[in-house]
Structure 1
């Protein structure tokens, strides 16, 4: 082992100096000191530490840090690390020192520092806290009350993002059934605004429930407003649908669904539209932020009802399946006028029924008019040449009756006159 010393002449001096740092690098370094943790804003956790003591002067210190279960491992020269994370659970960071950025190098002993969740009954915290950025204009957060809370609990929502500078309180608290919510405007301050996150905290005014926290990524919770259909027209046997995109969005950032309902057929499945394939005419080129859809195979004499909805796509946002509301329905086409046929179908049976009733009531008279009775010759001859005894007897009976009535009347008159004379 004497030969390395003899080789350390003028030409080997640099080689020996180069070997010395590598030997020091293989030695384990002392652990970091003064590891501490603090909370900034609402959900920004910052860990800070000091360099280890007794470090080899030839060591270029780097710090290996990761959360429990070795999540988000990082090797960097900074003596601090920050993370936006909801404070609903315990968060722990482990830090070690080493002399290079090589992951295979043996680091120092790990130092661990945790931040505890907020105090209070976990069952009192609000549930199903979710926030949606509507039409890139305002954010609406909603939640359900905790299981161990009073029905009259008054809630307060606080929010913060980088452009604000300080924590704000949401003023527009409202109730929708069992859900409670609050909405606030988001002011787009710079081009990188959409890459930021919103820190949310919900608690009660009296401090009797456990606060709830949420980190909302602005690119993952966007819900556009409904589009507006501008034009419907037929051309070359196809239906053209043209609509104006929601405000604040461009066509390339949106995906569409077009629903077409035909009066002649059943409801057609919504058509997915990823790209605008319509070739706009000169008059349409001035209509910015518009999109178009073509449906071939139009059936004549048919009314079509169309509506459209949109959602964000992966070109600009995360595909979160938050569809907008459907646009207002638009109709196009002419259907064969069936009112006349329906009216006739209703009137004809009524007319026929009335005619039948009239015929039944006047059937006998109609029969007489159409088929008059034929005279009976035998009856005619009988009246002309028949036995007259019956008629003679009839007149005789009439004369006898009239004569008796006259005699009785005269007798009564005579008796009355005699009574008057005797008096």
Structure 2
């Protein structure tokens, strides 16, 4: 039946060697229609079936995930067929040149070096990572430099865009040390076997006054903390040394034996005390 074949078949290669292919269910396909994808990179090869399907809520195959895809100069041949109620449906075939469907990774190692004396910044980066292109001249770039908003100075966010930059560096000549900026870069083809679509943006890199102020504030906060820690450590060591080096206390006067004379005097005193207590007791009873 017409309209049972898949529609909107699209494949994308990303992160160098991963590929996703997706499609929509045919307009007249019944609910129990199931699709199967096969592919090969040469007409002489045999088709290989998908090993990792993407499914919709009804369990129907609506895509396939691939790993370890090699681009080079290869063409890929895709076949999607299916069945419904035990009968075959319309098949779909398509040939794709793999490098054209690659989504380039962001440029790597973006750095910014600014000098107030020259009022300029040198921006450097490395080409995006690919499995089949090694020449730096195969890429051109788009750069977006954004002047960040500053409510205190009533400055609104503005952007400056530069396209078709070749090489791996760029001089930003409008740098103002009193402002804060961010930069992001993406790549595309420059006449080689590279996708003509723009790749992914790099992570924004910020530079300017606010960043320097933040670093200075952190340093000012860190210095007294380190100083207090050092003082506390020195006090602890000093107390410990005083305790360990203190003079050992002298023992009390050694015990000496009681002489007979001392014993006689002590016994006499106790006897006198006992007699006095008896006299006091008798007087109290008479009264």
Q: TM-score range by the shorter chain?
A: 0.5 to 0.7
How far apart in 2 are the matches of 1:327 and 1:317?
Answer: 18
How far apart in 1 are the matches of 2:40 and 2:75?
Answer: 9
Tell whether 2:172 aligns with 1:295.
yes
Which residue does 1:253 correspond to in 2?
138
Is the CA contact 2:13–2:19 (under 8 Å) kept in the aligned structure 1? Answer: yes
TM-score calculated relative to the size of structure 2: 0.60
Q: Shift of the alpha carbon at 1:210?
A: 1.0
How far apart in 2 are the matches of 1:274 and 1:139?
Answer: 28
Tell whether 2:114 aligns with 1:234.
yes
How far apart in 1 are the matches of 2:15 and 2:104?
Answer: 4
Which residue does 1:326 correspond to in 2?
201
How far apart in 1 are the matches of 2:42 and 2:102?
Answer: 19
Q: Which range moves more in the overlay, 301-310 or 168-177?
A: 168-177
Q: Shift of the alpha carbon at 1:226?
A: 2.0
Q: How many residues align?
A: 199
Q: Shift of the alpha carbon at 1:299?
A: 1.9
1:295 to 1:274, Cα distance in 2 relative to 1, 3 A = same
How far apart in 1 are the matches of 2:123 and 2:211?
Answer: 23
Q: Shift of the alpha carbon at 1:267?
A: 3.0
Q: Shift of the alpha carbon at 1:317?
A: 3.2
Of the candidates 198, 205, 208, which is equivalent to residue 76 of structure 2? 198
Which residue does 1:222 correspond to in 2?
102
Is the CA contact 1:132–1:141 (under 8 Å) kept in the aligned structure 2? Answer: yes
Which residue does 2:46 correspond to in 1?
166
How far apart in 1 are the matches of 2:138 and 2:54?
Answer: 31
Structure 1 gap ranges (5+):
1-120, 277-290, 339-423
Tell whether 2:202 aligns with 1:311.
no
How far apart in 2 are the matches of 1:203 and 1:274?
Answer: 45
Report SS of the residue matched to 1:220. helix
Is the CA contact 1:229–1:241 (under 8 Å) kept in the aligned structure 2? Answer: no
TM-score calculated relative to the size of structure 1: 0.42
Q: Shift of the alpha carbon at 1:304?
A: 0.6
1:199 to 1:259, Cα distance in 2 relative to 1, 3 A = same
Of the candidates 163, 169, 179, which is equivalent to residue 272 of structure 1? 163
1:299 to 1:138, Cα distance in 2 relative to 1, 3 A = same
How far apart in 2 are the matches of 1:167 and 1:135?
Answer: 24
Which residue does 1:140 correspond to in 2?
20
Is the CA contact 1:241–1:294 (under 8 Å) kept in the aligned structure 2? Answer: yes
How far apart in 1 are the matches of 2:211 and 2:105?
Answer: 36
Report SS of the residue matched to 2:3. helix
1:149 to 1:176, Cα distance in 2 relative to 1, 3 A = closer
Query: Deviation string for 1:154-175 (max 9, x for gaps)?
Result: 3221101129832111222125
Q: Shift of the alpha carbon at 1:205?
A: 5.2
What's the C-alpha RMSD, in Å, of the aligned pairs?
Answer: 3.2
Report SS of the residue matched to 1:323. coil
How far apart in 2 are the matches of 1:244 and 1:167?
Answer: 38
How far apart in 2 are the matches of 1:148 and 1:134?
Answer: 32
Query: Deviation string for 1:292-333 (max 9, x for gaps)?
Result: 2222111221111111112233233353xx222211111111
Q: Shift of the alpha carbon at 1:216?
A: 0.2
Is the CA contact 2:75–2:95 (under 8 Å) kept in the aligned structure 1? Answer: yes
